[in-house]
A and B are shown apart, each in its own frame.
Chain A
Amino acid sequence: MGEVMWIEVLSRHGEVGSRQRIDGDAATVGRAFDNDVVLDDPHVAPHHLRISRGEDGELVAEDLGTLNGLFHEHGTTRTPRVSLAKDPGIRIGRTVLRVHDSRHPVAPERLLTPPRAHAKWAIGLGVLVVGALAILEWLDLTAEPNATVIVRPVLGFMTGLALWTGAWALVSRIFLGQARFALQLRIALSACAALIVWDQLTESISFSFAWRALSDYAGLGFWVLLAAVCWAHLRVIGPRHMRVAMGLVVALTCAGAALQYLARSESQKLVGTRASLGDLRPPEFRLAPLASADDFFRKAAFTKAKVDQARAREPSSGSLFGDEATD
């Protein structure tokens, strides 16, 4: 028939360890040297598996009567016969095999990132982010102008960035075999740029429309960005266990965000809040129309309703040692 099949033996890390071309309709797999594919797994029988074509021409694996049996790649129930048409992965002993037909579709060719593209991006973004940080620090500088006041936070940022990127590069080196430092740096810098834009945008909008709640909760954006940047770093390392890792990241960022807001509301309860005008911008940033005094005091009436509710919810207790509060 001239049909060809490929049997791949996966390494313990899940990559293809060896790939063998079988010319013909059937092949055997086992420890014995008369097989087409020879495995060294001690949990595999000398003659463990036979792979052949069924009547419809699809590949099928059959257990040749072994101790440890045959499983789907991720399956837990022993199966004497596995059809390989939909799911080419099987497990025998501790070895995972994949069997492909010559018609097996492959992904289209991916465009090669030009050499040093990530590095160029990272440098460009880096200049942009560091410049933006320095300018923002300068715009916030109300005390004596002093180079260290601007340089120190910028240096601190660069150190943090280097540590963060280095950590991801190390993880990538361990699991992927490549550090991909430039790409990791580009991802981290993109996130920093996004964070700066988000921060400035929310603060400005919060001022422009007198929406103080926006700046109170804009911090949640940081946690969303953190989760997104972790996702991007993980994707570089590889798609394996992506779901588990992302679940972990989302859980951790949610916990972080919750903890931050809980701590803030607790500290507000503990130390109280002082009236303030919040983060101000130059008057030109105002976009909201001017309210009349009537409108303003109508809004103020909501604060009365709110504090009256709070008072009704938590009435002052009477005595600590007495039986009951005075009614």
Chain B
Amino acid sequence: MMLRLGLLAAALLSSASFAAAQPSAPAAPLSAAAPLSTAAERVFDLAKPRILQIRSLLQATGRQSSLGSGFLVTPEGLAITNYHVVSQYALDPKTYRLEFLAPDGSKGALRLLAFDVAHDLAVVKVDRGDLPYFEFDPRALADNLPKGERIYAMGNPLDLGFTIVEGTYNGLVDKSYDERIHFSGAINPGMSGGPVAGGDGRIVGVNVAKRLDGENVGFLVPAKFASDLIDRAKKGPPLVVDKAREEVGRQLASWQASFYATLRDRGFRSSSFGPYRGLESAAPWMTCWGATNADAIPKPRTAVNSTRCSSATGIFVSDRILTGRLDFAYSYFKAVDLNAFQFSKELSQRSWGFDGGLSKRLTEQECRDDFVEAGTGARPPLRATWCMRAYREFEGLYNVTLLALTQDRDREALLAQLTMQGVSYDNAVALGRRFLEAIEWAK
């Protein structure tokens, strides 16, 4: 099981035990015959020889450890799936191997040719030639599909068998840095990497994730990224599987480089929090939420108003590494009836970063504290902490937390928190500096 899109979504990968654990409810009797979609029948017929179940097996026992789907897109046997379906093998080829299962029951080994971690795609090769294959929908490649069009997601959900699900194309997700198609239809664990085709059987996207807090809210990777990756796999040098980890690191590094460059280009704005101002991103894909304790009972002794803007970018690297998130968070504290000592105690108890955790995939945290005056002009002095952890597996990538607390008044303060995951040191320092410099007095 894995989570996608930050805290709100889950992806489709599943273990067999998950499927077995679900009790199946008895089907309700149909009172009237539902109209059958002849298009769905046609699409599934066409798709059947072209879809695959893709399994990660443990080398040692030959047992499956994760399942997903895939589909053939070239006559040479190149197939598309999700990176997260093959991530175990890519990161640890000595422990895992890949295998496909076709709907006709044939099995065989798979070779990993290329992957795109940021878009969650991978290209694998079936060791057979002259196979039927899917074509990409040119309208989808040109982002030219009408909202509301019937599309069909296929795959092998929960290892129950090859399945087709009818749903609706709902355009690209509004607040998302990485382009994702919003698919209204039921997609489930095990369908990850499976094809989504229009009524003519041409590929529109690739199943990738669904929201856990909604109903029938699924996400697809747009077909153009799959088509690009196929081109790269055909032209580029073949992937050395033992060096796949370095390749993941390179892709994460270049993803964060373009993410932070885009962030700069999109600009920043200064938002006010009580008598203070702080930096927030103006990028449209930052989602902001606010919270207050004004209505708490008993009446709080410190009024707290907080906001948090998150990029909601979550890049799945492995079961234990989800990275790529950026958060700007501010809490404005004002003592109601606390004295200066009690107020500072309250602040000590609340001045914790969001990013912590016990991942052994990161080094232990290192922090530095200081009192800072981040720029010229009238501005509050700050108490700031910079904390850093390095990704053990990927060179030059860090999780950074920057906390800053205003130090100009003793019963009022702004706590500013900047959290960056999977960021290069230079980008972290550049944004961190900008973040500190932007903490000012309102007026």
Chain B residue numbers with a CB within 8 Å of A106 are none
Q: Is B179 an interface residue (CB 8 A)?
A: no
Question: A321 near B60 (CB under 8 angstroms)?
Answer: yes
Question: A302 near B368 (CB under 8 angstroms)?
Answer: yes
Question: B364 near A283 (CB under 8 angstroms)?
Answer: no
Give the total number of A-B pairs whose CB atoms are below 8 A apart. Answer: 196
B 400-427 contacts with A by CB, 8 A: 401, 403, 405, 407-410, 425
Q: Is A293 an interface residue (CB 8 A)?
A: yes
Q: Is B1 an interface residue (CB 8 A)?
A: no
Chain A residue numbers with a CB within 8 Å of B391 are 311
- Closest approach, in angstroms, between the C-beta of A38 and any C-beta of chain B? 73
Question: B356 near A272 (CB under 8 angstroms)?
Answer: yes
Chain A residue numbers with a CB within 8 Å of B343 are 142, 282
Q: Is B302 an interface residue (CB 8 A)?
A: yes
Task: Say yes or no: A319-B94 contact (C-beta < 8 A), given A139-B339, A300-B388.
Answer: yes
- Closest approach, in angstroms, between the C-beta of A272 and any C-beta of chain B? 4
What is the chain A residue whose CB lies nearest that of B425? A304
Question: B370 near A275 (CB under 8 angstroms)?
Answer: no
Question: B367 near A280 (CB under 8 angstroms)?
Answer: no
CA distance A296 to B348 in the complex (A): 21
Question: B385 near A277 (CB under 8 angstroms)?
Answer: yes
* Contact code string A94-114 (vs B, CB < 8 Å = 1, else 0): 000000000000000000000
CA distance A187 to B28 in the complex (A): 80
Interface 9-residue window, one of B35-43, B64-72, B185-193, B372-380: B372-380
CA distance A299 to B429 in the complex (A): 11
Question: A210 near B367 (CB under 8 angstroms)?
Answer: no
Question: A283 near B367 (CB under 8 angstroms)?
Answer: no
A 268-327 contacts with B by CB, 8 A: 268-284, 286, 288-293, 295-297, 299-300, 302-304, 306-308, 310-311, 314-316, 318-323, 326
Residue of B358, B383, B390 touching A280 (CB-CB under 8 A): B383
Question: B370 near A291 (CB under 8 angstroms)?
Answer: yes
Question: B433 near A275 (CB under 8 angstroms)?
Answer: no
Instruction: Count how many chain B residues have C-beta atoms less than 8 Å from C-beta atoms of the other chain.
Output: 74
Q: Is B369 an interface residue (CB 8 A)?
A: yes
Chain A residue numbers with a CB within 8 Å of B390 are 307-308, 310-311
Question: A274 near B242 (CB under 8 angstroms)?
Answer: no
Q: Is B172 an interface residue (CB 8 A)?
A: no
* Contact code string B341-363 (vs A, CB < 8 Å = 1, else 0): 11111111101111111110101
Q: Is A212 an interface residue (CB 8 A)?
A: yes
Residue of B94, B349, B368, B388 touching A142 (CB-CB under 8 A): B349
Residue of B372, B375, B429 touching A291 (CB-CB under 8 A): B372
* Contact code string B321-347 (vs A, CB < 8 Å = 1, else 0): 000000000000000001111111111
CA distance A292 to B245 in the complex (A): 39
Q: Is B365 an interface residue (CB 8 A)?
A: yes
Chain A residue numbers with a CB within 8 Å of B433 are 293, 297
Chain A residue numbers with a CB within 8 Å of B370 are 210, 288, 291, 295-296, 299
Chain B residue numbers with a CB within 8 Å of A282 are 340-341, 343-344, 410
Task: Say yes or no: A292-B373 contact (C-beta < 8 A), given A140-B342, A319-B92.
Answer: yes
Question: A278 near B363 (CB under 8 angstroms)?
Answer: no
CA distance A276 to B386 in the complex (A): 9
CA distance A143 to B293 in the complex (A): 13
CA distance A142 to B392 in the complex (A): 40
Question: A273 near B245 (CB under 8 angstroms)?
Answer: no
Question: A276 near B353 (CB under 8 angstroms)?
Answer: yes
Q: Is A251 an interface residue (CB 8 A)?
A: no
Question: A210 near B94 (CB under 8 angstroms)?
Answer: no
What is the chain B residue whose CB lies nearest that of A142? B346
Q: Is A144 an interface residue (CB 8 A)?
A: yes
Question: B381 near A311 (CB under 8 angstroms)?
Answer: no
Question: A273 near B341 (CB under 8 angstroms)?
Answer: no
Chain A residue numbers with a CB within 8 Å of B242 are 326
Q: Is B18 an interface residue (CB 8 A)?
A: no
Question: A304 near B403 (CB under 8 angstroms)?
Answer: no
Q: Is A141 an interface residue (CB 8 A)?
A: yes
- Chain A binding surface, main DSSP class: loop
Residue of A210, A212, A310, A321 touching B364 (CB-CB under 8 A): A310
CA distance A315 to B344 in the complex (A): 40
- Closest approach, in angstroms, between the C-beta of B130 and any C-beta of chain A? 35
Residue of B349, B351, B392, B436 touching A296 (CB-CB under 8 A): B436
CA distance A159 to B3 in the complex (A): 51
A 187-224 contacts with B by CB, 8 A: 210, 212
Chain B residue numbers with a CB within 8 Å of A320 are 95
What is the chain B residue whose CB lies nearest that of A273? B365
Chain A residue numbers with a CB within 8 Å of B349 are 142
CA distance A277 to B429 in the complex (A): 19
Question: A310 near B301 (CB under 8 angstroms)?
Answer: no
Residue of A141, A280, A297, A321 touching B405 (CB-CB under 8 A): A280
Q: Is B298 an interface residue (CB 8 A)?
A: yes
Task: Say yes or no: A279-B348 contact (C-beta < 8 A), given A139-B341, A320-B95, A323-B94.
Answer: yes
Chain B residue numbers with a CB within 8 Å of A143 are 301
Chain B residue numbers with a CB within 8 Å of A277 are 347-348, 351, 369, 383, 385, 403, 405
- Closest approach, in angstroms, between the C-beta of B329 and any C-beta of chain A? 12
Question: B342 near A141 (CB under 8 angstroms)?
Answer: yes
Q: Is B198 an interface residue (CB 8 A)?
A: no
Residue of A274, A297, A299 touching B355 (CB-CB under 8 A): A274
Chain B residue numbers with a CB within 8 Å of A308 are 390
**7 closest pairs, A vs B, by CB?**
A322-B94, A274-B356, A275-B353, A275-B387, A277-B351, A275-B401, A290-B373
Q: What would 7 A/B residue contacts be, using CB atoms closer than 8 Å?
A: A139-B342, A144-B301, A271-B358, A276-B353, A307-B366, A310-B363, A322-B94
Q: A275-B403, A302-B368, A318-B94 are in contact. List 10 more A-B contacts (CB 8 A).
A: A276-B348, A286-B371, A291-B370, A296-B384, A297-B432, A299-B370, A300-B368, A303-B368, A303-B387, A310-B366
